[in-house]
Amino acid sequence: MRPWKSSVKIATAALSLFVWTLSTWPGADAQDGDDVMPSDPYLAELYADTCMACHANPDSGAPMTGDVVEWEARLAQGEDVLLDHVIDGFKGMPPLGSCSDCSEQDFIDLIDFMATGG
């Protein structure tokens, strides 16, 4: 084997290890919710100002944005119950999710975004 060939191999191996490390790094996972934003700029602003503080923070006890499994159980209660919980507050969740400017439709859109992660 020519020397340059083995150094190409080593470089390739190092590169794939690097890519693997990046993709498995804690926080690179969309389930953590801290790097996902609604594509709609209006919704993104509401989300960033309010829901995100808890729903992208695993220590808050809130269901994480994009955690489809966790949200499935919540969605199973039905949209009306979820909306009531958002508007009135629910356990660690403050009334209106701290978003006094949000309309009912905004809440529905925000829940839909958080439950699917996009």
Q: Does 99 bind ligand HEC (CB under 6 A)?
A: yes
- Helix (H/G/I), strand (E/B), else coil: 90: strand
Residue 33 interacting with ligand HEC (CB under 6 A): no
| Residue whose Cβ sits closest to ligand HEC | 97
* 34-68 per-residue burial string, b: 16 or more CB within 10 A, e: under 16: bebbbeeeebeebbeebbbebbbeeeeebbbbbbe
Q: Does 62 contact ligand HEC by CB under 6 A?
A: yes
Tokens representing 58 are 């695993």
Binding site for ligand HEC (CB under 6 A): 50-51, 53-55, 60-63, 74, 77, 82, 85-86, 90-94, 97-99, 102, 107, 110-111
